[in-house]
Each structure stands twice: as structure tokens, then as C-alpha cells.
Chains A and B, each alone.
Chain A
Amino acid sequence: MSLVELGAHSDPTLLILASLAGGPKHGYAMMEDIEAMTGVRLGPGTLYGVLARLEQRGWIVPLPSDDRRRPYQLTGAGAVTLSERLREMQRLAATGLARLAESQR
């Protein structure tokens, strides 16, 4: 089952932060990376709505660019936020898997 069918892990904020954790990317590269990583296809309006919010919060910063495509980079604060979210999901995953194993015994 793909992540998009699960729904729970298709939060655009999380997807963009996770994509940028792999290095600076511009908008198109982020969309391609997210689709490859999770099967989720972000729309351009959604992508830039989230990018604006993330930049306002200081979790990403734009990098200078010679052409129209502007790459973004994860900041330290953004990395901390992503780490916390993923650890919460990891705890949830561990708890869920343990309960499933228990119920199937």
C-alpha cells in the first residue's frame, strides 16, 4: 500500500522537509524527489504554499541562483523540527507494530 493511500504520512510539510534533508533542491526537484520517495504528487500551489510558510518559520532558506529556479535549503531549526516529527512517527510505528505482533500471537 503506497503512502498516498495511507494518507497519514502525506503531510506536505513533512514531505518537503524530508526531501530537503537530502540536500538543497528547487521546486521541481522537490516534487520529483517526493514522488519518487513516497508516490505522492504535490501540486505546484500546495508546494509553494508550504514553502512560503516554512520560509516564514525559518525552517528553510532560499539560496542564491543564477536562473529562475531558486533552490531551498533546510536550516538547523528545520532539521530539528523534522527530526522530532520523524521520531514521533517512529515511536508510533514501534508501538503499532508491537501491538499487532501481540494481537497475532
Chain B
Amino acid sequence: MKWTARLGVWLARCYPHSWRARYGEEFDALLADRPTTLLDCLDIAIGALNAHTMPVTAESLNERMARMLNVVRRSEIVVFSAFIAFVVAGLYLNGQTDDSPYLPLMGFKPGLFPNIELNNPLAVTWLALEAFSLVALAAVLAGGLPIALSVWRRSPHLRGLFLVPVACFVGICVPPAIAILAYYANGMNVPTVLRGLGRPLSVSYGIWFVALAVISTAAVARAVARGEIGAGILRFALWASAAATAAMAIMLCSTLAWGLAAHTQAPGNFDRFAFTGDPTVLSWGIVIVTMLAATAVAAWATLRGINASHRDDAAAGPASVIPSTEIAG
């Protein structure tokens, strides 16, 4: 086989999977029937690019819609999973900051409405982090609850999967609840109780927390992947995903700024490359990397879902006027 023929066969593999499934065999037969020139190879490469950017496969409108909705569904599962990873990182930072020397530095006083100093970068960045965490949570609930309700109502065989997050939540609460109950009678301060458990037990609880978060997320993802969900609900959830992702990006920037402020205002506490139970540059760095990865994955998935949704809307135009397919006599 000449090198141009081999190149042509290799380039044919660059067509999208759905295109290959429909036309791959006959296309390969065509390439085998005639000599492939360099111009043919260029033509095949351009054809593959067009097939990726302007997919036109002879599938029915319903098949195309189902394929698009599957892409949207998978995108939303990825965004939800990234959000959970982001939350775990945020809770870790929040747990470290709680009852730490940073609270008085932020001007937070005990009470329902802490006295926040707006000229204090440490306080303002923390406030922004907490405010946008509520925005992200609201967006996830706005997009996720209709999906969950749709799966619950239309796919009763999947209802058991929704018990998994409930069980995981109980599992997360049980160890600290037991510790608090065990020491409450002695009048000990709760954060002191948790710190008093020592590093090995704290690390073990952290691993337990992450494991239950993963199991819980996997159960929800499975329910959403397999459940019956209306197209309108999936499309709406795309915009909720975009809002959640934007909020995550702002929280990431706030966390970054908070660390820089901590470095400026409390270098003695912050500028330590160690795990001390309070936020340090090491623990903060791990949180930043996790948040950055989660935000990047969520952004990629959201864009992929929106692109699939819009591309199908554009491609559906001409197909809506498919003429009758009467066979010529």
C-alpha cells in the first residue's frame, strides 16, 4: 500500500464516532477501490473537520435530539461532581479557619451578624467566598431539584439511589455527634473537642468524609444518567450549571485573594509549609489546586453542554423541512 493510501485510511479514522458507525465501512471500501492521492488525503482531512464542526449524519430528528440530550445530561453530571469536589475543598478550608487565629484578624465577633470590617481584605474576601457559596448552592439546587424530582417520579426503580446520599450524610454526622455527646457532659468547647481528637483521628475522619462524598455523588450521578428526564428540564439545568460554575470561579478568586491577604496580615501563622490544623500556605495551596481543577472541569463540561444544545438547534433547522422520501420508480 502506498503511503498516501495509508495516510488516507488513517485520516478516515479521524471522523467522529457516529459518522464512522454510519459511513465508515463503505468509506473504507471506497478508499480501497481507487488510488488515493495527496489531494484526496487533504480532502479527507477537511471532510473529517467538517464532520466534527458541522455534524450531518442521516439520523432522524428524534435520534439527534436524544444524542444531544445525552451530551447535556453527561455535562450536568460532570458539573455536579466538580461542584461536590469544590465544596469538600471549601469545607476543609472553613473547618481549618473556624476557631483559628484568623477569625479575630477578620474582625469576626460571635453573634448572628458578625462585625465585618469592609476595609479588611481578609474579611472581605472571606465574605465574598461565603456569599458566592450560597449563590452556587442555589444554582445547583435550582437545576438539580427538578432533575431529581423528574427521576423520582418517572423512574421509580431508581428511587433507592436517592437514599444513598441520605445515608452518607448520616454517616458524616455520626462520628462528630458521638464525640460531642461523649464530651458535652463535661462542658468542653466543641471545636476544642474536635481538635482534641488528635491528628490521626482527624485525618481518618477526613478520609471517611471524602469517601462518603464520592459514594453519594456516584449514586446521584447514576440516578441522573439512567433516569427519565424531560428535555426542557435538562436544558434549563444547563443555565443553572453555568451560574454555579461562574460562582465557583468567583469563589476560587476569593480564596486566592484570601490567601494573599493572610500572607500579608498573618505571615507568622500562614507562611508555613506544614499541616497545623489552621490554614497554612500548604493546606491553602491544596484547596486552591482542588478548586481550580473543579472549576476548570465544570467550565469545560458546561461549555460542552451548551455547545451541543446550540449546535443541535442550528442543525435542526434544515432538517425540519425534510421532503418526502418517495422512492423513484
**A and B: interacting chains:** yes
How many residues of chain A get a CB closer than 8 Å to chain B's CBs?
Answer: 33
Task: From B28, B44, B57, give the contact of A45 (CB < 8 A).
Answer: B44
- Judging by beta carbons under 8 Å apart, are B47 and A48 in contact? yes
Given A68-B26, A70-B26; A49-B33 close (CB under 8 Å): no
- Judging by beta carbons under 8 Å apart, are B326 and A56 in contact? no
* Shortest distance between the CB of A25 and any CB in chain B (Å): 12
Q: Give the chain B neighbours of A55 by CB distance below 8 A.
A: 58
Find the B residue at minimum CB distance from A68: B29
Task: From A51, A69, A77, give the contact of B325 (CB < 8 A).
Answer: A77
Give the complex CA separation of A77 and B325 in angstroms.
Answer: 6
Q: Does chain A have a CB within 8 A of B43?
A: yes
Q: Does chain B have a CB within 8 A of A96?
A: no
- Judging by beta carbons under 8 Å apart, are A75 and B34 in contact? no
* Shortest distance between the CB of B322 and any CB in chain A (Å): 5
* Shortest distance between the CB of A64 and any CB in chain B (Å): 12
- Secondary structure call for the B interface: helix
How many residues of chain B get a CB closer than 8 Å to chain A's CBs?
Answer: 38
The stretch among B48-56, B74-82, B194-202, B283-291 that forms the contact with chain A is: B48-56
Q: Give the chain B neighbours of A43 by CB distance below 8 A.
A: 39-40, 42-44, 47
- Judging by beta carbons under 8 Å apart, are B327 and A44 in contact? no
Q: Give the chain A neighbours of B323 by CB distance below 8 A.
A: 57-59, 77, 80-81
Residues 163-215 of B contacting A (Cβ, < 8 Å)? none
Give the complex CA separation of A26 and B25 in angstroms.
Answer: 12
What string of 1s and 0s marks CB contacts (under 8 Å) between A45-63 and chain B? 1111101110111110100
Q: Give the chain B neighbours of A47 by CB distance below 8 A.
A: 30
Q: Does chain A have a CB within 8 A of B232?
A: no
Q: Does chain B have a CB within 8 A of A67?
A: yes
- Judging by beta carbons under 8 Å apart, are A53 and B56 in contact? yes
Q: Give the chain B neighbours of A31 by CB distance below 8 A.
A: 30, 34
Q: Does chain A have a CB within 8 A of B27?
A: yes
